[in-house]
Chain A
Amino acid sequence: MPVVDLSKSAIRDLNRLLHSLTATTNETSWTVQNPAGQHSIAVGVDAPIEIEIEGHVGYYCAGMNKHAEITINGNAGVGLAENMMSGVVRVKGDASQAAGATGQGGLLVIEGNASARCGISMKGIDIVVKGSIGSMSAFMAQAGSLVVLGDAGEALGDSIYEARLFVRGKVTSLGADCEEKTIGDEERTILAAVLERAGVDVPTDGFRLYGSARRLYHFHIDNAY
């Protein structure tokens, strides 16, 4: 049960320790204390371990995560779990801009609100936000599910390729080429599975689904500047 106190240890030393762990490590339960909003905490972890962070974190926390389950008992700054590959990242508070950006896999759970550009260019990650998300979320999203229990800000899903955006509250506006879709059995099953993995017990009935109208897939002269 290693405990790393960031008021005494440097971030680089913490990350070096985490990077040295292998898939069969016995050190599977880590605690990080006094993060004090510092950047790049627990970035690039590639081992099936659990990490509890006791407090607010700064930019890029849990970026590029692979296999690890990382829990933040506080808020997170810009770029939380950016480019995550697998594993689970859970933040108990709010997340700043670009949470889950370019994520390729795994699950990101934000128990509070997420700021602008949540899930920007997501490529297979699943994101569950218990609160609301800010403007320009899921911009150029390519794959994966973004599930929002609260509201979505302006220009949701602008220039979206393929990804499923489930929103329970109101959507301020949809971005270019994003439209509401009918929820079929397949989508309902996917939504239920994501909610279950996130440990969020709400019925799937209240959600609306948004996705790509696929009108930007091919060059159209009216779209040229």
Chain B
Amino acid sequence: MCGIVGLFIKDPALRPRLGSMLGGMLEIMTDRGPDSAGFAVYSGDAEHIFKVTVRGKDLESLSGALSKALKTSVEAVARDTHMVLSFPESMADKVREWLATRRSDVAVIGGGRRIELYKEVGLPADVIRRFGLEHMSGTHGIGHTRMATESAVTTAGAHPFSAGADQCLVHNGSLSNHRSVRRHLEREGLSFTTDNDSEVAAGYVTWRMREGDNLGAALESSLGTLDGFYTFVVGTETGFAVLRDPIACKPAVMAETDQYVAFGTEYRALSGLPGVEKARIFEPEPARVYAWEHH
């Protein structure tokens, strides 16, 4: 099982409601994934600022220590077990290196110019409340409710998975060749933190884009490499893309209005959105990449 939701706001007036709309969609998908939940929200567009989302304990001292060690300004926003650190873009590599060496107890779960990423074990309603999703604003976001099949129920095993800057992926399904794809990607220099099949899919898309593919081409390429059942929703700095496996094994439905494009594993997830009664409702076709982007 698992439930996926995605929301791409077209009408800027709705941006302040991104979190409340996405949260409503996510909570309805509890039946499909009650063991953990997660979401990525894309917001802010401050020039030359990089954001990293971390998870762990004793995060209060983190920004101070980081700022002092690297002699740079660091802003921190704490949300439950997570913290978003914002700092000048030029410091991104140094911050990652410092976190890896000085605070290896802290998990870096995503980073980029616009992405913030939160995930935890527990009922989606609790996860949404703990992180305050309903108050978040942004241009687009994706979310996932998990019913684990391929690896343990842990926070690290929850979705979304992020393998590259401003990229993340949520997955409904299960991959059968993720071990061999993982070995290939490890030889290409990627590293993985869990045994999860979906993390391999995220890594694969990131690797293809690193090799020069655009998002559409990277997803097309995954059709030939990833074996199994999947519906993917992939978030990027400017939008999101959807791909279903060639036999459309996992459900997916979309709604488009002048104000937004919404994705749900089931129509139920979309039923509370404003104006959905008049939306164009359709199912993405198998093996076809759909993408929406802000320009």
Contact = CB atoms under 8 A, between A and B. Distances in A.
Given A56-B281, A93-B281, A37 B286 contact: no
26 contacts: A36-B268, A36-B272, A37-B268, A37-B269, A37-B270, A37-B271, A38-B268, A39-B268, A55-B277, A56-B267, A56-B271, A58-B268, A59-B266, A75-B267, A75-B281, A78-B251, A94-B281, A94-B282, A94-B283, A115-B248, A116-B248, A116-B286, A134-B285, A135-B247, A135-B248, A136-B247
Interface in B241-260: 247-248, 251, 253
A77 interface: yes
Nearest to B282: A94
Residue from the set B247, B266, B271, B283 with the largest chain A CB neighbour count within 10 Å: B283
Nearest to B253: A96
Contacts of A78: 251
A75 B248 CA distance: 19
A168 B229 CA distance: 32
Contacts of B266: 37, 58-59, 77
A96 B251 contact: yes
A94 B285 CA distance: 14
User: What range describes how many residues of B lie at the interface?
Assistant: 10 to 19
A137 B286 CA distance: 14
Interface in A101-129: 115-116
A145 interface: no
Contacts of A94: 281-283
Residue from the set B268, B269, B270, B285 with the largest chain A CB neighbour count within 10 Å: B268
Nearest to B269: A37
Contacts of A97: 248, 251
B108 to A, nearest CB: 37
- Interface SS of chain A: helix, strand, loop or mixed? loop
B31 to A, nearest CB: 9
Interface string B7-29: 00000000000000000000000
B267 A58 contact: yes
A115 B282 CA distance: 10
A61 to B, nearest CB: 11
Contacts of B277: 55
A212 B174 CA distance: 34
A111 to B, nearest CB: 14
Contacts of B251: 77-78, 96-97
Contacts of A38: 268
A77 B267 contact: yes
Interface in A134-190: 134-136
Contacts of B271: 36-37, 56
A56 B285 CA distance: 20
Interface string A53-89: 0011011000000000000000101100000000000
Sorted nearest first, the 10 A-B pairs with minimum C-beta distance are A37-B267, A37-B268, A36-B271, A37-B271, A115-B283, A56-B267, A116-B248, A58-B268, A75-B281, A77-B267
Nearest to A96: B283
Contacts of A59: 266
A39 B267 CA distance: 10
A87 B272 CA distance: 32
Contacts of B272: 36
Contacts of B268: 36-39, 58
B276 to A, nearest CB: 9
A173 B75 CA distance: 58
Interface in B4-57: none
Given A55-B277, A56-B271, 19 more contacts: A36-B272, A37-B266, A37-B269, A37-B270, A37-B271, A38-B268, A39-B268, A56-B281, A58-B268, A59-B266, A75-B267, A77-B251, A77-B266, A78-B251, A94-B281, A94-B282, A115-B283, A116-B247, A134-B248
A55 B247 CA distance: 28
A176 B251 CA distance: 25
A152 B21 CA distance: 36
B259 to A, nearest CB: 19
Contacts of A55: 277
Nearest to A136: B247
A146 B247 CA distance: 21
A59 B251 CA distance: 11
A37 B267 CA distance: 6
Contacts of B283: 94, 96, 115
A77 B271 CA distance: 13
